[in-house]
Structure 1
Amino acid sequence: MAHYVDSEVGRLGAVLLHRPGPELARLTPRNNDTLLFDGIPWVARAQQEHDGFATALTDRGVEVLYVHHLLTETLAAPAAREELTGAVLADVRLGDSLRRRVADHLAGLDPAGLAEVLIAGLAHEELRGRPTGLVYRLMDRHDFVIDPLPNLLFTRDSSTWIRGNAAVTSLAMPARRRETTITHAIYRHHPRFAGTPLVYEPGLEHVEGGDVLLLAPGTIAVGVGERTTPAGAERLARRVISGGLAETVLVVPVAQRRATMHLDTVCTMVDVDAVLMYPNMAHDLLAYTVTADGEAAPGVAELAVSGPEPFLRAAADAMGIDRLRVIDTGLDPVTAEREQWDDGNNTLAIAPRLCVAYERNAETNGHLERAGIEVIQIAGSELGSGRGGPRCMSCPVARAPLAPTGDEPPSAQG
């Protein structure tokens, strides 16, 4: 299968998911804030709900690729193993004595065991042998030598595909940064993704996949706020425009509060010309339009910036349509706010006018259906405790192109 994505709504062919596992069971009232969860999920129920999500996709012909399986297979490559263990051992909190012990522990694990530790972490009491040194002795017995990654569930954030290129992002929060080292290693070392060009990589300015929407072939919206920085948006825009992956990037400032952490918590696409939006913000969002600077000197990848103007107007103009249809999450302000908080806006399109949404957002789902959008409703009472919906939990790696017939997808990988 070719790995290629040029829109949010083209027929979905393959997607990266992560089934929640032991890393979720590591959450406690003592650490859930640090690990970015609002509550303590019931792990078995979260797994059931996630299995229901995966089944909804496979029943409609979508290939589901699990991060844990890909990681285990990737770790069979010595270079990948060295890269990922090196990232763990680079943690400055360890100190020299504990770092040596952790290195010995990881060296004794097979690929499956190492994948488990990289995702679920390593607790103080799980370290083999008799560790010595000041750092280990001063740790609480309930602390982690290697932190778990409960947010790996939200595979959208650590990478996003732009046509035939993968953008491995640069996550802002320290609790999540190891997620990108895992995704980066999979794209570089797993046989399925060998040769994939990377248009963005960890270590650059902060960009998160939840802030990147592919509005149409050649048109990308990037939210700037709590997680994606203006510098990150500019770097991504420069790379996709100079690389011929997009002609226009709309940079959209998003209010910096928990309820609007990413752009896709207030806006997702459900048709080629329709978005589901949080009504409290729909007509307040502004966008700066970024294109190539035609006045720049030859060979200089400079950008031209115009605006701001209303996001809906800028998006329609960039997409070449008269207007972008808006479907609201709730008509009254209280319902809209409740359903936005419960990820009512965060839908995953399987095809134009066909999307997956949490069943709990009944009013939003009703609005979608009345607008001609078929909604596949899934349970999410436990999955939603990390504040993420179906789009957050999925990273499409293959969609049918929406590019005009005869327009060969650039850089598509076989």
Structure 2
Amino acid sequence: MSQTLRPYVDSEVGTLRTVLLHRPGAELARLTPRNNDELLFDGVPWVSRAQEEHDAFAEALRSRGVEVLLLSDLLTEALDIPVARAEAIAGVLADPRLGADLGDAVARHLESLSTDELCAVLIGGISKRELPSGHGVAWSLMGDHDFVVPPLPNCLFTRDSSVWLRDQVAVTSLAMPARERESTLTGTIYAHHPRFAMSSKLFTPDFEPLEGGDVLLLAPGTIAVGVGERTTPAGAERLARAAFARGLAETVLVVPIAQDRATMHLDTVCTMVDHDAMIIYPNVADSMVAYALTAPDGPQARLHVGGPTPFLQAAAAAMRVERIRMIETDLDPIAAEREQWDDGNNTLCLAPRLAVAYERNHATNAALEAAGIEVVEIAGSELGSGRGGPRCMSCPITRDPLD
């Protein structure tokens, strides 16, 4: 692009200008029936087909004028900076499984790699048999195919490791051990890549668990944060305090969701598709509630906590709209559960009333079209094996403001 746009995101639906994606690679080839549960995938994806699907997703965004940044490209460029390289390697060596002796061997190996090779290992991992040398108890007790540096297949879901609130970034604290190091890589990019040199940091990975899939920017000044399997109430509170202190929010709605694989994040059950419209999983729509947090009276004061109130009612009040248009399908509960499992509610808005969705969710997409939402359908038979849709696979960096 002729002009580099500054980061700014104040909604879910403002016209998308710049987005961060991760094209899946060797890390997906590390998945086996033996380890896929531990690495948070529900199957073993066909890697080349997953790459084809992701390439088509990226091209669909580019064809609509969106600048697509790739995580591996940004990370490689950042790793050319010595302090960034040292931080990324330190994130690997923090793994307590390694111990002193194996840790020394890993450090020597990583430090010997070129920038491209280091980026590949940081994301794709390395097994014992791929490490040139090693010693110590941890090394001796490892099997040849055990991971010395675990792969990060969930890097595919760039939504979770960072969230932009206007021009400030929250580098999140990922709850599951298989994903912790993702935030180290994202943090390295935002701390050291020249493109983000002027960005302020709002949240860091050493705070309480908070994941980007649980954070919805309902409207300028109104944030919803799901708490459940991945984000804790303390993480939501920490984000709310930071947002209030920096004038980034007037209301933060804390929304309890079931601690379940199918509803791991708030964006697995609802996403915005227009200024005042939401696609929502009908099996939970009537039972969702929200606790409304507003700013304390001083830096050391307690947050004001209101509720619980029905979620859609609380959202409408915080957004200052008469009501939220809830887009419903005519599916029976079983069919609705199937489409929710296939990320039917996990849409990515490119602009008001323009959303990307998986093509397989026919009924949900038909309901969106009937409600006046243009749907850009993409394939996701392999990408969806990690339980994530178009919103999960994208971190908006720049949107047009709604104000």
Q: TM-score, normalised by structure 2?
A: 0.98
SS at 1:215 equivalent: strand
Q: Given the superposition, is the C-alpha separation of residues 329 and 19 from structure 1 closer, same or farther in structure 2, using an over 3 Å criterion?
A: farther
Structure-2 residue corresponding to 1:245: 248
1:125 positional shift? 0.7
**Does the alignment pair 1:86 with 2:90?**
yes
Q: Supply the distance in 1 between the matched residues of 2:260 and 2:27 (Cα, whole angstroms).
A: 26
Matched, 1:183 2:186: yes
Given the superposition, is the C-alpha separation of residues 382 and 329 from structure 1 closer, same or farther in structure 2, using an over 3 Å criterion?
Answer: farther
Instruction: Give, as a single letter, the amino acid of the residue that structure 2 aligns with 1:204.
Output: F
Q: Flag the 1:299–1:127 CA change in 2: closer, same or farther, 3 A.
A: closer
The percent of aligned pairs where both chains have the same amino acid is 66
Corresponding residue for 1:121? 125
Report the equivalent of 1:410. Answer: none
> What CA distance in whole angstroms lies between the structure 1 residues aligned with 2:330 and 2:87?
47
Secondary structure of the structure 1 residue equivalent to 2:231: coil
- Choose the corresponding residue for 1:105, options 88, 96, 109: 109
1:281, 1:396 → 2: CA distance? 27
Equivalent in the alignment of 1:12: 16
Q: Is the 8 A contact 1:242 1:301 kept in 2?
A: no
1:313 Cα offset (Å): 0.3
Q: Counterparts of 2:227 and 2:357 in 1: how far apart (Å)?
A: 24
Q: CA deviation at 1:300?
A: 3.5
Partner of 2:364: 364
SS at match of 1:222: strand
- Please give the residue correspondences for 1:14-413 in structure 2 after superposition, counting only pairs within 5 Å: 14-128=18-132, 130-293=133-296, 296=297, 298-403=298-403
Q: Which runs of 4+ in 1 moved over 3 A?
A: 298-302
Return closer, same or farther for 1:42/1:385 CA change in 2, 3 Å cut-off: same
Structure 2: stretches of 5+ with no match in the other structure: none
Q: Distance in 2 between the 1:9 and 1:136 partners?
A: 50
- SS at 1:284's partner residue? coil
Instruction: State how far apart, in whole Å, the 2-side matches of 1:91 and 1:77 are.
Output: 23
Per-residue deviation at 1:93? Answer: 0.6
The CA deviation at 1:141 is 0.8
Relative to structure 1, the CA distance from residue 221 to residue 138 in structure 2 (aligned partners, 3 Å threshold; closer, same or farther) is: same
- Give the TM-score normalised by structure 1: 0.95
SS state of the match for residue 186, structure 2? helix
Amino acid at match of 2:377: Q
Q: CA deviation at 1:333?
A: 1.0
Deviates more, 1:18-27 or 1:299-308: 299-308
| Separation in structure 2 between the aligned mates of residue 144 and residue 213 of structure 1, nearest angstrom | 35
Q: Secondary structure at the match of 2:50?
A: helix
Q: Deviations over 1:169-198 (max 9, x none)?
A: 000000000000000010000000002101
Kindly report the root-mean-square deviation, in angstroms, between the aligned alpha carbons of the 2 structures: 0.9
The amino acid of 2:258's aligned partner reads A
Whether contact under 8 Å (1:292, 1:301) holds in the other structure is no
- Give 1:331 shift: 2.4
Q: 2-side partners of 1:95 and 1:208: how far apart?
A: 29
Letter aligned with residue 45 of structure 2 = P
Provide the rounded CA distance (Å) in 1 between the counterparts of 2:74 and 2:87.
15
Distance 1:157 1:330, change over 3 A: farther
List alignment gaps of at least 5 residues for structure 1. 404-414
Q: Distance in 1 between matches of 2:78 and 2:330?
A: 44
Which secondary structure state, in structure 2, belongs to the residue aligned with residue 187 of structure 1? helix
Aligned length: 399
Q: Distance between the aligned counterparts of 2:87 and 2:53, measured in 1?
A: 33
- For the 8 Å contact 1:46–1:382, the answer to whether it is kept is yes
Which secondary structure does the structure 2 equivalent of 1:246 belong to?
A: coil
Displacement of 1:335 in angstroms is 1.3
| Whole-angstrom distance in 2 between the partners of 1:346 and 1:46 | 18
- Cα pair 1:238 1:301 within 8 Å, conserved: no
1:409 maps to which residue? none
Write the deviation string for residues 292-348 of structure 1: whole angstroms up to 9, x where unpaired.
13xx3x543531001000000000000000000001255211111100000000000
Q: Which amino acid aligns with 2:11?
A: S
